[in-house]
Chains A and B, each alone.
Chain A
Amino acid sequence: KNQVEQSPQSLIILEGKNCTLQCNYTVSPFSNLRWYKQDTGRGPVSLTIMTFSENTKSNGRYTATLDADTKQSSLHITASQLSDSASYICVVSGRNTGKLIFGQGTTLQVKP
């Protein structure tokens, strides 16, 4: 069964610290993997999109990595800010299947 699992489920860090969120998937064959940020009460915002041939992609203080062999991705947030408090969702697209599989998300809280 195609699945996307994210860890941790929730995370609390102090402002200015770095953190890494994990996403493991079993979707195969794989087309691309996306990370979204969703603030409470708002729609998700795209952070990064990676195809199976890409290993890393950055968007400001957000850096996503992908290991297609082990089917793992991570999202690294550098020098966290209070505005980084949100849910982070990993989404995997299956090649030729027309299906998007969503992770349950990681809720990040950045405290001053």
Chain B
Amino acid sequence: KAGVTQTPRYLIKTRGQQVTLSCSPISGHRSVSWYQQTPGQGLQFLFEYFSETQRNKGNFPGRFSGRQFSNSRSEMNVSTLELGDSALYLCASSLDASAWGTDTQYFGPGTRLTVL
């Protein structure tokens, strides 16, 4: 069974630009969560989607948005990039809503975003 895939793996952008990251969950998984990981802040929860609906959102500005398609694939968009947005963006999938339940989350390898 294929794992969670994320594309692209690496991305370099300049300040002010926008970026879209993609996540394909494990087949059959309906919940997709997004996380930002930086050396200073560690892992932080961005948002979770389940059946095309955003169920929960972390404490990030509105520049960070996402969506989920009917096939459970998800995209995350960051507009007006800032230097501080440089991070590893991780996506995780699970069978059902995972943030509060006990379903195992399976993480992808992440997208390394560098903002210059």
Residues of A within 8 A of B (CB): 31-32, 41-46, 49, 51, 89, 91, 93, 95-96, 98-100, 102-105
25 contacts across the A-B interface (CB closer than 8 A)? A32-B101, A41-B109, A42-B109, A43-B4, A43-B90, A43-B92, A43-B108, A44-B92, A51-B102, A89-B42, A95-B100, A96-B100, A98-B55, A98-B99, A98-B100, A99-B45, A99-B56, A99-B58, A100-B58, A102-B44, A102-B45, A103-B42, A104-B42, A105-B42, A105-B43
Contact of A93 among B55, B99, B104 (CB under 8 A): B99
Q: In the complex, what residue of chain B is closest to A45 when comparing beta carbons?
A: B107
The complex places the Cα of A93 from the Cα of B101 at a distance, in Å, of 9
Tally the A-B contacts, defined by beta carbons under 8 Å.
Answer: 52
Q: In the complex, what residue of chain A is closest to B107 when comparing beta carbons?
A: A43
List B residues 40-80 near A (Cβ within 8 Å).
Answer: 42-45, 55-58
With a cutoff of 8 Å between Cβ atoms, the chain B residues found around residue A91 in the complex are: 43
The 9 closest A-B pairs by CB, nearest first: A43-B107, A98-B56, A102-B43, A100-B45, A104-B42, A46-B104, A49-B102, A44-B107, A31-B100
With a cutoff of 8 Å between Cβ atoms, the chain A residues found around residue B101 in the complex are: 32
